[in-house]
């Protein structure tokens, strides 16, 4: 099935959300009413500004103290268990659990002056991934949906793909909002590091081959013709035909299968990315961009470290990122893609300066970090600073709306871009200011 609004994500809120919307079956495959591909017929035109994007979303809130903004001179109750190490930029240190990121800092920029203005799950996913604060009356779209709306298709693949389901959707996080489901992500939760990796929506079920799919498509066309004779809205049928055709083109296109054929990559490169789901998803994201996808979100969960923060970060959470993110940037550069690919690493918010009684850190709404690379962002730039405890920004403060303004500027989306709400009102997509030092 083509999952439009699915997730099984857990945070400290104790909320578990499973799929509540799927779209039927086109001739025995996973798409019968392909509204997620209707954007191909919605008037969105490809633009000449083909800067693409990979967004790495770490759901739960990454501790800035224990990664990219350590406080080595603070008391141990704030400093934590890790030592600090030098990076490739003189005078800048990361914690010892980020050795590769430290060594490769010249490839990316770090915003230590990010003020999340929010410390709550759910609203964080919506706010950080759109640049607009949660408003129950207006569902603001996520970055990838905006790109889909304004730029449209440039291949058989959808313009917006999401790898993994670690996004809190309760308040519209990662969703197309007012732009409509046709601009939602094509979502894939399969593990590309698995030996039997299969993308369900482009792979026929057992017993159904593509010839059988073609026969079903022909039968469907005949039924549509019969209905069309009695229907008073021929334009609606024409639009639906285009949407069905877009879906059929995607699932039958050799380019689609080739894009997901991660086994075609060399064993050495796959090892360098890391054989984790996260590492192979980053490699797959590069392949998808090469195949014509404009925006890929790579998600990972488990970052809500109220307890066992230090063990979780060191043993499980940081190693895949520390391994894969620098390789992704190097790989994009070697492929000649880094100049027109923006890479982001974002999370809900920061975490508390003071370590709690469970050896964890809680939510923190006034400081954190963001990472940006490619598309002209100056590598080695460490922008902004927090106070001695990492609690508040004291230099070069930027907000989530400013990150959004920077993203849109890099991707060629007008600063004053608007969408239309279902009741016809114009909705301003961004009210921030681009981070001037990175422009």
Which DSSP letter does residue 389 get? Answer: T
Which residue is it, tokens 């967004």?
Answer: 55
Domain ranges of the chain: 2-8+35-384+427-438
The rounded mean pLDDT for the chain is 86
Q: Is the pLDDT of residue 45 over 50?
A: no
What count of other Cβ atoms lies within 10 Å of the Cβ of residue 232?
5
Q: What six digits make up the tokens of 58?
A: 């770490």
Average pLDDT over residues 412-436: 94
- pLDDT, tens digit (0-9, with 9 covering 90-100), for 356-397: 999 999 999 999 999 999 999 999 999 999 999 999 999 999
pLDDT of residue 250: 73
Closest by CA position to 114, among listed 380, 393, 414: 393
Q: What six digits make up the tokens of 225?
A: 């013709």
Which H or E run includes 188? Answer: strand 186-188
pLDDT of residue 253: 79
Asked which of 3-17, 22-36, 184-198, 356-370 is least confident by mean pLDDT, the reply is 22-36
Task: Tell me the CA distances in angstroms from 176 to 138, 356, 401, one per residue in order.
Answer: 11, 37, 17
Question: Using CA atoms, how far apart are residues 288 and 284, in angstroms rounded to an integer?
Answer: 6
Residues in the chain: 439
Three-state DSSP class for residue 53 = strand
SS3 sequence of 136-182 = CCECCCCHHHHHHHHHCCCCCCCCEEEECCCCCCCCCCCCCHHHCHH
Question: Using CA atoms, how far apart are residues 403 and 406, in angstroms rounded to an integer?
Answer: 5
Question: Using CA atoms, how far apart are residues 382 and 429, in angstroms rounded to an integer?
Answer: 27
Phi, psi of 353 (to 5 degrees): -60, -40
Closest by CA position to 344, among listed 330, 327, 325: 325
Which pairing describes strands 368-373 and 109-115: parallel, antiparallel, or unpaired? antiparallel
Q: What six digits make up the tokens of 212?
A: 């059988």
Q: What six digits make up the tokens of 348?
A: 């809900």
pLDDT of residue 154: 93
User: Model-level pTM?
Assistant: 0.85
- pLDDT, tens digit (0-9, with 9 covering 90-100), for 58-73: 999 999 999 999 999 9
Question: Using CA atoms, how far apart are residues 111 and 129, in angstroms rounded to an integer?
Answer: 16
- pLDDT, tens digit (0-9, with 9 covering 90-100), for 170-228: 999 999 999 999 999 999 999 999 999 988 766 555 555 556 655 655 665 665 666 55
Q: What is the CATH number of domain 2-8+35-384+427-438?
A: 3.40.720
- pLDDT, tens digit (0-9, with 9 covering 90-100), for 238-272: 544 555 555 666 776 788 889 999 999 999 999 99
Which residue is it, tokens 């001179």?
Answer: 73
Question: Using CA atoms, how far apart are residues 267 and 158, in angstroms rounded to an integer?
Answer: 28
Q: How far is CA 268 from the centre of its chain?
A: 26
The answer to whether residues 339 and 375 touch, using CB atoms and an 8 Å cutoff, is yes
Better-predicted residue by pLDDT, 289 or 49: 289
Q: Is the pLDDT of residue 156 over 60?
A: yes
Q: What six digits make up the tokens of 203?
A: 């792979």
Question: Using CA atoms, how far apart are residues 355 and 337, in angstroms rounded to an integer?
Answer: 41
Q: Which residues pair with 160 in a beta bridge?
A: 295
The answer to whether residues 322 and 371 touch, using CB atoms and an 8 Å cutoff, is no
Closest by CA position to 27, among listed 253, 244, 182, 304: 244
């Amino acid at each position: 099935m083509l999952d439009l609004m699915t997730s099984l994500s857990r945070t400290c809120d104790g909320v578990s959300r499973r799929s509540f919307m799927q779209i039927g079956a086109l001739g025995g495959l996973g798409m019968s009413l392909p509204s997620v591909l209707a954007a191909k017929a919605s008037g969105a035109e490809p633009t000449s500004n083909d800067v693409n994007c990979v967004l790495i979303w770490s759901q739960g809130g990454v501790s800035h103290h224990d990664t990219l903004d350590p406080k080595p001179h603070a008391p141990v109750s704030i400093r934590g268990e890790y030592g600090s190490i030098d990076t490739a930029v003189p005078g800048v240190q990361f914690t010892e659990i980020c050795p590769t990121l430290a060594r490769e800092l010249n490839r990316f920029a770090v915003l230590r002056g990010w003020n999340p203005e929010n410390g709550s799950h759910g609203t964080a996913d919506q706010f950080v991934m759109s640049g607009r604060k949660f408003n129950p009356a207006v569902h603001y779209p996520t970055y990838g949906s905006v790109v889909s709306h304004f730029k449209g298709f440039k291949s058989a693949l959808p313009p917006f793909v999401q790898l993994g389901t670690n996004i809190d959707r309760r308040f519209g996080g990662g969703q197309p909002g007012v732009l409509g489901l046709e601009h939602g992500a094509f979502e894939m939760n399969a593990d590309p590091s698995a030996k039997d990796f299969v993308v369900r929506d482009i792979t026929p079920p057992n017993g159904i081959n593509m010839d059988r799919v073609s026969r079903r498509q022909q039968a469907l066309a005949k039924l549509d013709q019969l209905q069309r004779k009695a229907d008073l809205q021929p334009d609606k049928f024409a639009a639906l035909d285009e949407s069905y055709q877009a879906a059929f083109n995607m699932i039958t296109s050799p380019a689609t299968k080739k894009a997901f054929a991660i086994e075609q990559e060399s064993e050495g490169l796959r090892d360098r990315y890391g054989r984790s789901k996260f590492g192979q998803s980053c490699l797959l994201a590069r392949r998808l961009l090469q195949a014509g996808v404009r925006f890929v979100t790579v998600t990972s969960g488990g970052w809500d470290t109220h307890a066992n923060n230090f063990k979780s970060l060191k043993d499980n959470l940081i190693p895949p990122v520390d391994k894969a993110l620098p390789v992704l940037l190097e790989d994009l550069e070697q492929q000649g893609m880094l100049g027109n690919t923006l890479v982001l690493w974002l999370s809900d918010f920061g975490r508390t300066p003071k370590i709690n009684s469970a050896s964890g850190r809680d939510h923190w709404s006034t400081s954190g970090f963001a990472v940006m690379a490619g598309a002209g962002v100056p590598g080695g730039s460490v922008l902004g600073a927090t106070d001695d405890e990492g609690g508040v920004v004291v230099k070069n403060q930027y907000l989530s709306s400013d990150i959004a303004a920077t993203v849109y500027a890099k991707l060629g989306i007008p600063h004053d871009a608007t969408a239309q709400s279902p009741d016809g009102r114009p909705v301003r997509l961004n009210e921030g200011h681009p981070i001037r030092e990175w422009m």
